[in-house]
Structure formats: structure tokens, C-alpha cells
Structure 1
Amino acid sequence: MAVLCGTAAAAAITLTVQPATATNAPEGDSMADAFTDAAEEYDVPRDLLVAVGYGETHLDGHNGEPSQDNGFGVMHLVSNPDRDSLGRASKITGESETDLKRETRANILGGAAVLRAHADALGLDAAERDELGKWYPAVARYGGAENKQLAKFYADSAYEILADGVRGGTDGGDRVRTRARDVAPDRGGYADVPDLGTRSPDYPPALWVPAHEANYAAGRSAAISQVVVHVTQGSYAGSISWFQNPEAEVSAHYVIRSADGEITQMVRDGDTAWHARDANSSALGIEHEGFIDDPSWFTDAMYRSSAALTKHLCDTHGIPKDREHIVGHSEVPGNDHTDPGPNWNWDTYMGYVNG
């Protein structure tokens, strides 16, 4: 797992959609067609299905490689001790789990099947399924978060993508498009759920959403001396949810959203997050939403927000603002990870850190 290592949460996301990659789409079969066919088969609104997929992966299947919480494919079908949307998709569709992981068409079909199953469990009838706003609680459940605030945040994010429209593409020239949809989501039981998080005690521009106590250690055994840059290998909401899951046994101090640079703190600076093995005791870990092989996640908003945070951390804890003390996960001795990877622009990032 790559994770081994502001505004209110419901604020609108402004999307500048970059090309997505679908390296595992069947030859001669477009991703756009796969979304259309899956939506028709399971009576799920196509544009909403695309929005959910885009929020999870930017429509990139990553050649069947897992996310940090063991999710797969364009629709991020998950298999871990706390959640098994992959197994559920296999039972509904009859597709093997192997195909659901690696074949884009099967994966999109599985995502549609799981989303429809959530709608059925909520009692949506045929007429209600034709109303985009009625799907909100089903989308919230698709995110898999037990925390209702995080589930609401996940659904809000999907509807913000739906409102802006998606203009995704593949390396082969395939295009996935949705038009901007002005939809008033029917939040149902989530209407009175507070927005995600309070303000961070260590960095006021950030939100505070604590990781599960099983995923970090209280206090420090060494002085703070470096900042470690990570990439989540998953979505912002998914990473926050995973760090709240006691099965994860991993965490980071901060997580940063791609679209607008929103920051969530999950472990206090004075406590030891589990993100970089032997360096944990002396390091502050910052996770960045995205996947190392897809540069579309590394937005200028993310770089600027993260750099401002890193500058604050360096100034607060007396850390020199140079590449010996601000390092990638892959540069920490004793680690076998590759994040942030070749698409991370260190020159841009350090330029922002140093003003």
C-alpha cells in the first residue's frame, strides 16, 4: 500500500478534468459504451455512474493494481476485512473477481450492479430511479464509509462532479463525456448530518478528522526532523475512511484533496503516524490524493496547498526547507515504496515551499 508509509467539507469542487487512462479496456470496446451498457442493464443513471467512477479513480483502471484499501478498477470495487463490494459485484453480475479487477467493461458493470443494489435496499422504485437526486443515499453507501459525515461528504463530491460534467479521455483517444447537470440532491437521512470535521488544532486552515487510535501511536520517541510526501493510491474520501478503519494499521498526519487542495489532519503533529516505517518517530506524513501513474491528480491547487502546509510545518518544528528534509516516501531508508513517483514535480513543489 502506498499509504504505508480549506473550506468546509461540503464546499463545491471546481473540476478541471484531465485525460483519464483506461489501459485495460478491451480492444475495440470504448469505455463510454461500457458506461452506457452498464447503466442500461442495471437502470442506473449513466452520468451519475460516470461521476462516481471519476471521483474514485479519474476513470483509470490502473491495470488491475489495487488502491491503498485494496480497491480495483475504474469503479474502485473493494475487497478488505471491512468491505467487500468486489465480492458483491461478482455475485450480482456473475463475473469473476479476476475479471472485475482487470477488465474495464466488467468493472464498470460491477459498479453499476452494486450501486443499483444499494438503491434497491433503500426502496427506490422505477420512477424514483429516473430522478438523479433520489440516488444520493445510494451513492453515500457506495463510498463504504461508516462515518455518516464522511458518507455525506463522499456523496456531495459525486454530485459536485455531476454538476460540473466530466470530460475524460483515454490514451487510445476514447472519450467519456457527461454534460453539466443541475441537480438538487435529495439527501434524505443525510440532510441533518453535520459537515465533515472541525478545524485542525495544529493547522487551522485544515479540517480535523481523527484517525482510529489503532492506526497511530501517542507521543513521539524522537524530535520531528523531516516531512515525508506520499500519494494515497486512492481517493481523498477513501483515504480518510481507511485511516479511520482499525484494520488499516496505517495513517498519515495530513491528507490533501486534488481538486481544490482541501486539507484534513488525521493525526496530531505531536503523535506518531504510521506511514514511513523506521522514520515514523521523526517524520510528519502528508498524503496527496491520487495515483502515482496518473499526473491528472497533481493539480496546482494541490501543490500550492501542500507547499503552504509544509512551509508551516517546517517553520513550526524547525525543519530546514530543503530536499534533505522534505522527501518522498521512496527516499526514506528502509522503505520499498515508489510514491510520489515520476509525475510529482519536485521543482514546482519546492519553489512553492520556498516562496
Structure 2
Amino acid sequence: MRRSSPLRMAAAAIVAVGGLSLPQPATAAQTAPGERQAAFAEAAKAYNVPESVLLGVSYLESRWDANAGLPSNSAGYGPMHLTDAAALTTENHHVDGVEDPRGDDSRPLSAPEETPAPAEIPMSLRTLEKAAELTGASRDELRADPAANIRGGAALLADYQKRLGAPLSDDPGQWYGAVARYSGATEADAAKFFADEVYATIETGTERVTDDGQKVVLKAAPGLRKMDSWLNKLGLRRPVRDGVECPPTVSCEWIPAPYQALPDDDYGNHDKSNRPVNQQIEYIVIHDMEGYFGPSVNLVQDPARPASWHYSLRSVDGHIAQHVKTKDVAWQAGNWYVNAKSIGLEHEGFLRTGGAWYTEAMYRTSAKLVRYLAKRYGVPLDRAHIIGHDNVPGTIASTVRGMHEDPGPFWDWAHYFQLLGHPLHGTGGPTTESVMILPDYDKNQPYYYGCDKDNPEAACLPHGSASIWLRTEPREDAPLVKDVGKHPTGDSLYSVYDHSARAVTGQRYAVADRQGDWTAIWYLGQKAWFHNPASQPTAVPSKGLVVTPKPGLASVPVYGRAYPEAEAYPAGVPYQTISPLQYTFPAGQRYTVGLTAVGEYYRAVTLDPSQHTVVRGNLKYYQIQFGHRVMFVKADDVVVSAT
């Protein structure tokens, strides 16, 4: 369904937002400031759990947010992330997607017809029913009422402590085993990581204002002594770490993707290489699975599935499985040029499930892994190199429409870069001619529809978002800008799946105009306006390089890959046509530069890696932030300047 405005809505209470009437679906009751803190204190006292332990566990699960009663990407509810198997879905974009994950038109792929059987639901995804049994609260209360949810979490911790034979002590250090069990992990390393992160949070202390305006404080407890001997009593398995490429501070195991011959001279499901000797690794690509950890790991172990990725990350506890060596090329980004130069991380979860949220545990392990990989391979920690799957361009014009949209508008890029140790921030002053998109995630709650698969026309519940809408004029009811690649004959959509008219946190754009509280940027060959008031800015000044067409050129082509010129190809390696995308970069417009590239093509069409070839040319490109996705222009077509 296509719409040009959010005025056609499901029946709901109406509230005024930016001059438009938008629906406000029913949400959990609002609480007065300070009630969340009191709820932790009361639950801790009622179940004889140290308050610092309860606060620390909740912080690592949800950062104390209520998320409007919505489930996380591992079916967890509320500040304590009580999991309810009834919230699980059966989708998976590795099965249902239209994008060719290999993204190499010299060797097109076809997916097998069989759909894998669903995996058995683990007990870690069924803690809400146990909390209901322990507290007497209904499942509805535990999902929607933060205070009831916190009591449920406290009751679970106390129950775990008793089952371990450990005392209900006032000493937080005595609760290490119960905290480790709360993770739901079946691996000893994953349980230990979770508990260590909880106790590190308790030691340093922290405070924040939650998504529903609750200020919560965890006072620092330096020098806390952890009784980690309780971990041995959990009887958890020891995963195989031999050969994994992970930092020692995360839980990681080796579950290899197969590299083997298939019928008809085919093979699956990745390519051997020798990176970074043969190809420089430029990107780390952030995906979500549009599915759950277990089924996705099963998929990557199937050689007939034409998809693979380097790492899978589990939401409930942050556990990591590595499938492909980083020296090898996984089939994950849908663009062969990007695949050949990237490492792909798949995160358990969904981009659309009612504003589904990602756990703090997974954000933290992901950030630790990315920091480790970035340092190892010299990948800059910025949004030109740490990209979402939704930022990867189509290879040629015909593939643009089928490219994926994950991790979507609910991935918190600002928080992620804080965890990476490179927080996003502005540079320059108010007249700087380029900006970085940087809204306040919790306060930025754009209208989306399409979160409910059973009612796809209904508005999504209000939720924090990293994305902002882009309009044709500086007013809230103006139409969205158009994307001729995604919608050749129609309008951009307010769908949670459609980023045709969205910019996202960390992306840099050249300023096209300013008018009052509105800023315009150059976007997909047009002027795109977004609301950027000084009282609550959605972008900050950001100095850097920009390109514009060379004098005398009316426009220049943009590309989805930086391939070499024809003369660079040796005998026996077919020339890969440098085919422009359907967009126009006219004279007078400017786009920010993310990196410089020299034309390169990795020829890999056989199981024998000795027959693979890296073709390098002299053709120079600039990667630019052209729309929501990055794209490339030839250096010979543009002039570079600084803002």
C-alpha cells in the first residue's frame, strides 16, 4: 500500500504532533517521575534482592526503559526483559527476502525452495510465565506495568539464588550466579559476560532518564568483590572458541558455514580469500536477522542457502557465533563490491515489530566486537565505514528496489557509537555547510506504519528512532521527497520498511538551504527539508569534504560499486560493466565524501580459490552520502572542497 501522508490512520485516540493529527495507540500507563526508582527499591525489599543487583541486571537488559510495553527482538518485555514465547514470530529475511545476498551479477544465485523447520523455543524465552507463577501477577500486568515487571524480575533473581543454594544476602557479590543465570545463556562464557557487565555497571554506577521520563540512579560501588565461583554450579556448556576472531571479553564460539561443492559446478556458501592482503577491508556491515538466533545459525550452516555472514549475535545475552573467517568473503550485503571489502554482523531481531528494541547486552557485545575488528583491520569508526545493511547501495539500477532495509529506524546508532568509544558529535559552527543527523533517540518519535503484520495499515506505537523524515518543503504536512530507485512511479511511504525519504543518525549531508526551524540537504538529486529547531535539534554542524560536478557538466552519474576500467582486466577475466544507477547528481548540488576508493573487482566464480583474481585499476572514486544509502562518483567527474 502506498501513501503520501500519514493522515489515513487506524481508529485510535488523536493527538496533535507538529501540526498533524496522528494516532496515539494505547500504551502502558504513564508514571510520575521517580516511580521507576521507587519500584526497584520496593521490589528489591520484597524479594530480598540487593537493589544494586536488580538495577544492574535491568540496565543490561533494557537500560531501565519500558519501551511502551512492546516486546524486544527476543520477545522480552519491560525493564527486566521478561520473555514471552507468545510474542515470537516466524519471519526470516534469509528465507523470504528478495535481495541476492551475493550481489554479483556475473554469478547470479537462486535460493532453495525448502523453508527450514522452526527451532524449539528455549526456556530463556519463557521467563514471563515463571515470573507470573512466582508473583501472582497476570501476564498482561507483567508485560505492560513496569512496576509489576520489576517485581517479576526480582522474584526470578531470588528464585535463581535459592536454586543455587546461595544465601539471600545483602552482599551484591554473592548474587553473581543468579545474575549469570538471569542471562538465559546456555554457554558458560555468555553467562559470565552478562554477569561481568552487570557487575561492571554496579561498580561504576550510572544514571539516565528513561524513554518515558523516569530518572533512575544506580550509585557506584567501587571495589565490589564478585563471588564468581557460583558460576560453576550452573552446569553450562563450554563452547568451542578455537579459531574464533573475537575479543577475549565477549562470549564467542565457532560454528562454521560450509564451503563445499554443490551439484552443477556450484558451491556454497561463501568465498575463500586472503584479506586484507588481497582486498582491504573497508566496511563493517550491521544487519538484523529479521529472525531469531537459532534458526538463523541453522541457515548459515546449510551450503545450499546462498547466504552467509561472519558473525551472529544473540539478543537475550549478547552471545556471538562466528561462521566465516574474516579473511574470507561472506555473501551478506547484496552488493559484491561491498561484500568483498566488508565483514557482516547479523543481530537477532526485527526492524519492524512494533518498535521492537535491542537489548543492551547485545549492543555491548556487538560494540566490543566491532572495536576489535576495526582496530585489527584499520576500519575508521564512523558512519561511512560502519554502515547498516540499509546503507548498502544497489549494484545496478535493476537491483535498487530489492535491497534490504535492516537494521531499520529503531537501531540506536548514537548509543552504539558511544559504546564504540567514538560518540557522534558536531564540528564547526552554525554556518557550517554540512550537517550530521543526530536526533535525541528517545524524544525523536516519527510516525511509522507497518509494525503489525496482522494489521499492516495501522500506525506503529510511538517509539524512539534514529531516523528523521525528509520533505519537499519546510512544513510538517509537505509531501515526502521521492526516491526514483525504490518507487519509479509512486511516492515514498511512511512504512517502517521504506527509507526512501529518511536520513539516519551519523550520516553527513551537505546543506542546501535553511529557513527558520527547517534545514534542507541535498538528497538523491533534490532538496530535502527536515525539522531542525534549536530547542531540540535533529542535526548538528559537521565539517568535512564535499563534491560537486566539475564546471561545464550539467550532471554526473552515480554508481553502486567502484569497479575498475576495462583496461585493467587481464585476459580471461570478463570486464564488469561500470553501470550507473538511475539517479541524477546535477550541477550546483553537493554531497559529502565518506572515503576514497580505487576501482577493484574480486573475481570468484569457482570453488578453487587459486583461480580467484583481484582486478585493480587506476579509476578513482569517491564514496558519497547520496541518499539513505551510500553511492560512488568518479573522481574525474567532480570537484572536491571543504565545508
For this structure pair, what is the TM-score category when the shorter chain's length is used for normalisation?
A: 0.5 to 0.7
Kept in 1, the 8 Å contact 2:259–2:269? The answer is no
Structure 1: how far apart are the matches of 2:335 and 2:151? 42
Q: 2:172 aligns with which of 132, 137, 140?
A: 132
1:266 aligns with 2:306: no
CA distances 1:225-280 after superposition (whole Å, capped 9, x unpaired)? 985323689xxxxx9xx74x4686577524799xxxx996622244858x77999x
Match of residue 226 from structure 2: 185
- Within 5 Å, give how 1:14-25 maps onto structure 2: 24=28
- Within 5 Å, give how 1:327-346 maps onto structure 2: 327-329=388-390, 333=402, 335=404, 337=406, 338=408, 340=411, 341-342=466-467, 344-346=505-507
> Cα–Cα, structure 1 residues 228 and 82, in superposed 2: closer, same or farther, change >3 Å?
same
Structure 2: how far apart are the matches of 1:61 and 1:174? 10
Equivalent residue letter for 1:345: G
Q: Percent identity?
A: 25
Q: 1:309 aligns with which of 374, 398, 423?
A: 374
Tell me by how many angstroms 1:99 deviates: 2.4
Structure 2: how far apart are the matches of 1:291 and 1:246? 14
Structure 2: how far apart are the matches of 1:208 and 1:304? 10
Q: Find the residue that maps to 2:253 and give its secondary structure.
A: coil
Match of residue 31 from structure 2: 27
CA distances 1:79-126 after superposition (whole Å, capped 9, x unpaired)? 341021111111111222232222211211111111111011112344
Q: 1:209 aligns with which of 252, 255, 277?
A: 252
> Cα–Cα, structure 1 residues 284 and 85, in superposed 2: closer, same or farther, change >3 Å?
same
Structure 2: how far apart are the matches of 1:314 and 1:108? 40
Kept in 1, the 8 Å contact 2:193–2:249? The answer is no
1:79 aligns with 2:79: no
Higher RCO (CA < 8 A, seq sep 6+): 1
Structure 2: how far apart are the matches of 1:335 and 1:151? 33
Higher percent of residues as strand: 2
Match of residue 3 from structure 1: none
Q: 2:165 aligns with which of 89, 110, 123?
A: 123
Match of residue 634 from structure 2: none
Kept in 2, the 8 Å contact 1:254–1:287? The answer is yes
1:101 aligns with 2:160: no
> Cα–Cα, structure 1 residues 70 and 56, in superposed 2: closer, same or farther, change >3 Å?
same
Unpaired runs of at least 5, structure 1: 1-22, 234-238, 316-320
> Cα–Cα, structure 1 residues 286 and 34, in superposed 2: closer, same or farther, change >3 Å?
same
Match of residue 253 from structure 1: 310
> Cα–Cα, structure 1 residues 155 and 172, in superposed 2: closer, same or farther, change >3 Å?
closer
Unpaired runs of at least 5, structure 2: 1-26, 86-120, 261-267, 273-280, 301-308, 395-401, 412-465, 468-503, 509-541, 543-591, 597-643
Kept in 2, the 8 Å contact 1:227–1:284? The answer is yes
Kept in 2, the 8 Å contact 1:199–1:207? The answer is no
Q: Find the residue that maps to 2:84 and give its secondary structure.
A: strand
> Cα–Cα, structure 1 residues 65 and 313, in superposed 2: closer, same or farther, change >3 Å?
farther
Structure 1: how far apart are the matches of 2:247 and 2:180? 28
Higher percent of residues as helix: 1
> Cα–Cα, structure 1 residues 248 and 75, in superposed 2: closer, same or farther, change >3 Å?
farther
> Cα–Cα, structure 1 residues 201 and 59, in superposed 2: closer, same or farther, change >3 Å?
same
Kept in 1, the 8 Å contact 2:384–2:594? The answer is no
> Cα–Cα, structure 1 residues 134 and 246, in superposed 2: closer, same or farther, change >3 Å?
farther
1:45 aligns with 2:50: yes
TM-score using structure 2 length: 0.39
Q: Find the residue that maps to 1:210 and give its secondary structure.
A: strand
Structure 2: how far apart are the matches of 1:52 and 1:153? 12
Count of matched residue pairs: 307
Match of residue 68 from structure 1: 73
Equivalent residue letter for 1:285: G
CA distances 1:283-324 after superposition (whole Å, capped 9, x unpaired)? 74225799987899789x949955963993989xxxxx968x
> Cα–Cα, structure 1 residues 307 and 217, in superposed 2: closer, same or farther, change >3 Å?
same
4+ runs of 1 displaced by more than 6 Å? 191-197, 203-208, 275-279, 288-299, 350-354
> Cα–Cα, structure 1 residues 185 and 70, in superposed 2: closer, same or farther, change >3 Å?
same
Structure 2: how far apart are the matches of 1:296 and 1:208? 16
Kept in 1, the 8 Å contact 2:62–2:79? The answer is yes
Q: Find the residue that maps to 1:181 and give its secondary structure.
A: coil
Structure 2: how far apart are the matches of 1:125 and 1:56? 24
User: Greater Rg, structure 1 or structure 2?
Assistant: 2
> Cα–Cα, structure 1 residues 152 and 352, in superposed 2: closer, same or farther, change >3 Å?
farther
Q: 2:156 aligns with which of 114, 126, 137?
A: 114
- Give the root-mean-square deviation of aligned CA atoms: 5.1
> Cα–Cα, structure 1 residues 35 and 217, in superposed 2: closer, same or farther, change >3 Å?
farther
Q: Find the residue that maps to 1:137 and give its secondary structure.
A: helix
